[in-house]
Amino acid sequence: MDFDDPEQAIRKSWSVNAAAWTAAVRGKRIPSRAAGTDAAIVNACMRLRPRRALDVGCGEGWLARALAQMGVAVLGIDGSCELSAEARGAGGGSFQQLDFSSLVRDPTQAAGPWDVIVCNYVLFTASLAPLLTALGRRLAPAGRLLIQTVHPWTAIGDGAYAPGWREETFAGFGAEFPSPMPWYFRTLQTWSEEVTRADLAIVRIEEPMNRETGKPLSLILECAARPLAWP
Ligand SMILES: C[S@@+](CC[C@H](N)C(=O)[O-])C[C@H]1O[C@@H](n2cnc3c(N)ncnc32)[C@H](O)[C@@H]1O
Pocket mutation for ligand 1, best pick of 8, 14, 169 (most atoms within 8 Å of C-beta): 14
CA 96 and chain centroid, separation: 16
Strand pairing of 215-216 and 181-185?
unpaired
Task: Indicate the pTM of the whole model.
Answer: 0.96
Choose between 211 and 57: higher pLDDT.
57
Residue 118: its pLDDT value, please?
98
Cβ atoms of residues 39 and 19 within 8 Å:
no
Cβ atoms of residues 124 and 181 within 8 Å:
yes
Cβ atoms of residues 135 and 57 within 8 Å:
no
Pocket mutation for ligand 1, best pick of 33, 54, 78 (most atoms within 8 Å of C-beta): 78
Residue 1: its pLDDT value, please?
61
Residue 124: its pLDDT value, please?
97
> Does 181 have pLDDT greater than 90?
yes
| Binding site membership of 11 for ligand 1 (Cβ less than 6 Å) | yes
> Does 202 have pLDDT greater than 60?
yes
Share of the chain above pLDDT 90, in %: 90
Cβ atoms of residues 62 and 26 within 8 Å:
yes
> Does 109 have pLDDT greater than 70?
yes
Residue 31: its pLDDT value, please?
93
Residue 4: its pLDDT value, please?
86
| Binding site membership of 78 for ligand 1 (Cβ less than 6 Å) | yes
> Does 2 have pLDDT greater than 70?
no
> Does 213 have pLDDT greater than 60?
yes
| Binding site membership of 122 for ligand 1 (Cβ less than 6 Å) | yes
> Mean pLDDT across the chain, nearest whole number?
95
Distance CA 131, CA 19 (A): 26
> Does 3 have pLDDT greater than 90?
no
> Does 229 have pLDDT greater than 60?
no
Distance CA 32, CA 24 (A): 12
What atom of ligand 1 comes closest to residue 101's alpha carbon? 19
pLDDT digits (tens, 9 = 90+) for 129-151: 999 999 999 999 999 999 999 99
Choose between 135 and 157: higher pLDDT.
135
Share of the chain above pLDDT 70, in %: 97
- CA-closest residue to ligand 1 atom 4: 59
| Binding site membership of 99 for ligand 1 (Cβ less than 6 Å) | yes
Span 197-213, mean pLDDT? 96
> Mean pLDDT lowest for which of 13-17, 79-83, 112-116, 155-159?
155-159
Span 57-73, mean pLDDT? 98
Tell me, in angstroms, the distance from the centre of ligand 1 to residue 59's CA: 5
